[in-house]
A and B are shown apart, each in its own frame.
Chain A
């Protein structure tokens, strides 16, 4: 299995909703990442988990809450989002350390209404 699987593929949520994005990989990668990508812009790093511990939080607002329940799963809990949070949310994984290519999932296209 050489894939990173993200669900759902599309999500529309209201500003008062609570939802979660899910990411799963079975490649034995112990580093997992959340990126946010706005239209026609490059991906921007949000969070990094290394060995199931949060190692980087790029000053992301608290309405985004990551969780890494085990080495294969990464969640992103969403609450009270704003319309400007609408974007493609990409999950990626890699072996920890430099010199490791990342494998990206297909993303969740999120629309906040």
Chain B
């Protein structure tokens, strides 16, 4: 059975800290790894990673995929209170039709 595991499940930091969120996966017919941010309702798309070792960046957020070790990390530098959310990673299989989500990391950034 496909499995995605995130760690830590919960993280509390102060504004300005840097955080690293982890995601490991065991997925048959793996194709890509996606990161989402979920605040109140809809998950919002952050990154899609398909190739190993290529870092993707968007402002203070960056992510990288290691297809040999089957994991990805999401880094957030200089955290702000607005970064408080649940961060979900999801593995997409080859057909693209199925996303398997991890449990999520609840990030709380205190002022």
Contact = CB atoms under 8 A, between A and B. Distances in A.
Interface of A: 4, 31, 41-45, 48, 50, 55-56, 88, 90, 94, 96-107
A48 B44 contact: no
B84 to A, nearest CB: 15
B42 A90 contact: yes
Interface of B: 31-32, 34, 36, 41-45, 48, 50, 88, 90, 92-99, 101-104
A101 B66 CA distance: 19
A105 B41 CA distance: 8
B41 A106 contact: yes
A102 B45 contact: yes
Question: Which of A42, A45, A50, A100 gathers most chain B CB within 10 Å?
Answer: A42
Nearest to A95: B96
Given A98-B32, A99-B32, A101-B34, A56 B98 contact: yes
